[in-house]
Every structure is written in structure tokens, then in C-alpha cells.
Amino acid sequence: MDRDGRPDDRRPRGHGGRCDRRRRYRPPSDTGEALDLGASHLTLTIGFGPSLFDDRFGLAHLRPTALEDLPHFPADNLDPTRGGGDIAVQACADDPQVAVHAIRNLARVAFGTASVRWSQLGFGRTSSTSTSQTTPRNLFGFKDGTNNLKAEDPAALDRSVWIAPPDDQPWLGGGTYLVARRIRMLIEQWDRAVLGEQEAVIGRDKREGAPLGKTHEFDELDLESNGPDGPFIPTTAHVRLASAQHLGGIEILRRGYNFTDGSDGFGHLDAGLFFIAFCRDPLTQFVPMQLALARSDALNEYIQHVGSAVFACPPGPGENEYWGQTLFEA
């Protein structure tokens, strides 16, 4: 206080004051928007894109064979500014502000070394990955990921998700591949379709999620039985073409999210599915699956694939290790 009893606004003198003044003329060590928030189960997933293994960093000899840019599939309408990249960082949290905070601070500390090429904010998980979870719904209102791989089936995960060291580059053993596809849903067009058309396109009942011709969500797909108008599940239905039965046993782990990015300037929602999947080999799993869908899926009338990327995700770091140590010290 000063002699008149009013607060003294002057900085304290001495060592502490000098340190405080120096801090005022530096950027803060944290951007601050999550200071009052909890961790919200924040997780980070890191992946390396094909372009990281060019001639810039001396990593070409360590590039995995399966790490190739995805081909251009029929009906793709890709925006080149929404794909590719050297490094992928996926932040997931119960509170989206915490997830954005993580990405923002990583981008800040990388200034001068790396920059953000593209980003996507998603919400509302669109696939269950555990038998304890209720199957969520996508923006078309259908349950999504009923037949997804589950954490309670480690043998299936070992077979279809996790990379074994002998598969390819030893540094990637225990890791996986991340495939990302930004899929815009033509919401207004879909909302005008009658219920019978929607269910025929998907191949499931909209309310319960049961395969057409069955009663309950988790009833097995029946691709052989016919109703009065042909197969219960039409030959162009999405669930048929994406099923392991149709694809000779191919399975992937889906872990996508809904997104809504305002409108497109023409009164239409820019919304859809930010599809994320993990697989052991994208060339033998995702590519044939997407080719089957791109060629024949009735859902193509109501969606557009506008972004695409693939990344190799190394195994998670152990104690006193950093992300990608198996690669950068190989």
C-alpha cells in the first residue's frame, strides 16, 4: 500500500521483480485456454506420412513398403489442401477444448520447424471399439460400426491391426497404419430420401440397427436370403460391400468422428464423417475395401470423399522413450 492507503501498482524490487519483468516480454509458456480444465482423458496418436521418407531427412531406406499414398478411387473429389502431410497428430479428449489446446501448443513449439498443413475438428465417436459401448450414430442417423473390431478380441486385433516386426520395417513392429478420409455427407439430399430408400442404401433398419431381414442390431448379416423384392440386403447396400463376408475376411478398426464445418455458402451444411481407420496393411485391407465401395455402393449418391491421407504409426513409447524413437534411432 502507498502512504494514502491505496494499492501500490509498482512491481516489487529485487530479483523477483526483475524475473517478472523479463517474463512480461516473452511469449507465455502455455497458451492458457485449458488452464482451468482437467485432462479429460486426453490421448495423442502420432503417425508418419509417405512424404517424410523422401530425401530431406535421410529416412528413405526406412520407408515401409505399405506406406504409399492412397490411389485415386472412382468418384473421389479430393481437395489437395486436405490431405497428405509428413506427420499426423491426433488428439482425442472428452472436452474438445482440451484436444484443441494440445494441437495448438504442439504447433506453437514446432514454429520454424514444422507448420500445420491441414486439420479437422470432429465430435461424437461414430464407431464402437468395445463391447461395453453403445453403437453411436453418424449424421445420417444410422448406427455406425456395429460389426467393428472390438478391444475384447485381441486375436482379431493382432490379425488385422497390429504390425508384426517381420511384416516390414522392424521399427514399425507393434505399430499400425492410420487411414484418414474426410467424407462430406450431402445432408439435404439425404434428408429428402424416403425411409425405405435410406434403409436399402445402408442395409440396416434405421431405428434398431438390425440387418434388413433380421430383428436385432447384432444379428449376423445374411447376404444370401431373399425377400419378395430380391435380397433382403441389396447388392449395392453399404453394409454388404463393406462386410468381411463380401471382402473375403478383410477387417479394419474404424474410429471415425462426425464433423460440421458451417455451411458451404450455398445454404448446404458442410458436414459429414471424418473417417479414421487403423489396419495392419492399407494396401491389402483398406484399398480393396474402398475400391468395392467406390464402384458399387449406393451410398455414393449421398457422399463425397474430399480428403485423404495415410500414416504409419510407430509403437507407443515406453518409459524414458519418445514418440518415433524406434524410427529415428534405427
Which pLDDT score is estimated for 266?
A: 83
In this structure, what C-alpha cell is assigned to residue 103?
A: 494441437
Query: Cβ of 254: how many Cβ atoms within 10 Å?
Result: 23
Cα separation, 121 vs 327, whole angstroms: 28
Answer yes or no: are the C-beta atoms of 200 and 234 closer than 8 Å: yes
Query: Cβ of 106: how many Cβ atoms within 10 Å?
Result: 16
Question: How does pLDDT run across 41-66, given as a tens digit for each residue?
Answer: 999 999 999 999 998 999 999 999 99
Question: How does pLDDT run across 214-225, given as a tens digit for each residue?
Answer: 999 999 999 999
- Specify the pTM: 0.90
Q: How many Cα atoms sit within 13 Å of 195 on the Cβ side?
A: 4
Contacts of 98 by beta carbon, 8 Å cutoff, 6+ apart: 34, 37, 38, 39, 40, 42
Low-confidence residues of the chain, pLDDT below 70?
Answer: 1-19
Q: Provide the mean pLDDT of the chain.
A: 92
Cα separation, 119 vs 98, whole angstroms: 15
